[in-house]
Amino acid sequence: MNRDEFLLEMDEILDLPAGTLRGHEKLEELQNWDSTSLITFIALAETNNGVSISPGQIVTCSTVADLLRLARAESRAS
């Protein structure tokens, strides 16, 4: 999944119009970044990319781009 595809997917998860997220957004400032969207992110990473991400890893992320880096890093590691 490339960066644009990832951002579009995050737009959907967070119920934002397509093309809203650019990557620099802080997770804590996103209204719909909650436990449900966190679980969705983890489940999609597993389902789509076969990568296992834990909440402990997500805690280290502060922006949307951090999530992308995490997903890619796990993908390379797996």
By the criterion CB under 8 A, which residues form the site for other proteins? 9, 12-13, 15, 32, 35-36, 39-40, 42-44, 46-48, 52, 54-56
Give least dist CB 37 to other proteins, A: 9
* Closer to other proteins by Cβ: residue 6 or 63: 6
- Look-up of token digits 């909440």: 55
Give least dist CB 59 to other proteins, A: 11
**b/e code 61-76 from CB counts within 10 Å (16+ = b):** bebbbbbbebbbebee
Closest CA to 1 of 59, 67, 57, 56: 67
Alpha-carbon gap, residue 16 to 14, rounded angstroms: 6
Give least dist CB 72 to other proteins, A: 18
